[in-house]
Amino acid sequence: MPVDVLVGLQWGDEGKGKIVDVLAPTYDVVARFQGGPNAGHTLTFGGTKHVLHQVPSGIFHPHIINVVGNGVVLDPVVFRQELQKLTDRGVNWEQNLYISRKAQLILPSHRALDRINEEARGGSKIGSTLKGIGPTYQDKIGRTGLRVGDILLPDFQERYQEAVSRHTTLAEFHGRGLEIEEFEADFFSAVEFLRTLKLTDTEYLLNDLLRQGKKVLAEGAQGSMLDIDFGTYPYVTSSSTIVAGACTGLGIAPRHIDKVYGISKAYCTRVGSGPFPTELHDAVGEQIRQAGREFGSTTGRPRRCGWIDLPALRYSIMLNGVTEIHLMKADVLDEFDEIQVCTHYQLPNGEQTDHLPDHGDLEKLTPIYKSLPGWRTELQSITDSQALPQQLKDYVRFLEEHLEVPVSIVSVGPDRVSTLHMS
């Protein structure tokens, strides 16, 4: 059976967790392939909001195997907290959650280094969530990181101390100390808990399941515009957020990949620093922020808001080979008389382009908008796509024509039931 992949097409926070939850009943496996606790997937059902950071979003379905892949960076403390919250809500995760032994561990010293490095940047901050993600991936690429499987080795304590010693030297370069002593007891307690879970070679597990005919949904974190190679570098995350990352982050061959679900909001948001061509600094941007409750599910930070950006979306669609688009949070635009869509950019020399320039040029261009009529309808009460207002259908059709990919789902509210399949 194939592997279908779900990726964000913007700068993250597109609503991937909700879509995984909606699609999950048709899959046997949900596998997370990159990122760490800097990502937050929000799922709402039964009137309750659930926020996941490292646990795959299929965890609420008892029949689904959930896999934390080797491409993930795992914070044992946050992971234990997540699982405890699930237990408190009556979710039985023990039998269907597997963690790759090759996933990298986030240490307390990684979190300390993250803050030190960000503060050292002064006015050119990346906008890090300060969860230790960047330093952990740095150690992974530098071949000095600790992996989940290392906690099973008799010399794990010595390996940990060697890592802290290296990190101490790095901190001293900035004239700082790590100051992690108060966090270490909690870390080692969480490591003991992690040892009791299903730690395995998940690349073998997943490929065995595929041979058995099981259907796998690969779940990404963040968004394509934050990809370490193709995003708005250096204002990006530290991992590969596009479809290619599913292969390296899970240990599956490209030939297994079938459908690619691209998730996009009906507008656009970004958290942290970096270029954002369609950002709105006015009352309209604030209206979108408040209507969409655009505050980070992990950090609580207010998100930067703007109109939808088709050149950036086309770029993400190309990189990922998107086969269908899921359009999220259309209801946030309910109150607008007109909806603006960025179709092209104007470059500093006056030329127009529908290509995404390099990040340095992104800050120098002017978005060119097409104005479309708003629908002025409360969408959350609609449960059938046929009942959607014609203006929204026209908006969707406009996107399909310009992006050359069908929109198969339109979300009109946070709950599971507010997910409409387009006919």
**Quick check: 59 and 51 in contact, CB under 8 A?**
no
* Measured CA angle at 8 (ends 80, 210), to 5 deg: 70
| Active centre residues (catalytic) | 13, 41, 140
CA–CA distance, 6 with 320 (Å, rounded to integer)? 10
Q: Which secondary structure element, helix H or strand E, spans residue 315, and what is its range?
A: helix 310-320
Claim: this prediction has a pTM higher than 0.85: yes
Answer whether 3-103+199-261 and 106-195 agree in fold.
no
Q: Report how far apart, in Å, the C-alpha atoms of 215 and of each of 141, 186, 194, 353 are.
A: 31, 37, 27, 40
Q: Please say whether the beta carbons of 292 and 280 come within 8 A.
A: no
Residue 31: Cβ within 10 Å count: 31
| 72 strand-pairing partners | 35
- Tokens found for residue 156: 């794990």
Query: Is the domain covering 3-103+199-261 a CATH 3.40.440.10 domain?
Result: yes
CA distances to 9, 183, 298, 361, 401 from 317, rounded to whole Å, are: 7, 42, 26, 21, 14
Are 3 and 257 in contact by the 8 Å Cβ rule? The answer is yes
Q: For strands 304-306 and 268-270, give the pairing.
A: antiparallel
Residue (of 80, 139, 130, 73) closest to 106 by Cα position: 73
Which stretches in the chain have pLDDT values below 50? none
Question: Residue 39: its pLDDT value, please?
Answer: 66
Distance CA 11, CA 305 (A): 11
Domain ranges of the chain: 3-103+199-261, 106-195, 265-421
Rounded CA separation 35/76 (Å): 14
Give Cα separations from 362 to 97, 279, 348, 365 (angstroms).
41, 12, 10, 6
Q: Which CATH superfamily is domain 265-421 in?
A: Adenylosuccinate Synthetase, subunit A, domain 3 (3.90.170.10)
**Residue list, annotated binding site:** 12-18, 38-42, 129, 143, 222, 237, 297-303, 329-331, 411-413
From the candidate CATH numbers 1.25.40.10, 1.10.300.10, 3.30.43.10, 3.20.20.300, the one assigned to the domain spanning 106-195: 1.10.300.10
Residue 59's closest CA among 81, 70, 43, 37? 43
Nearest Cα to Cα of residue 242 among 329, 139, 328, 317: 317
DSSP 42-58: EEEETTEEEEESSS-TT
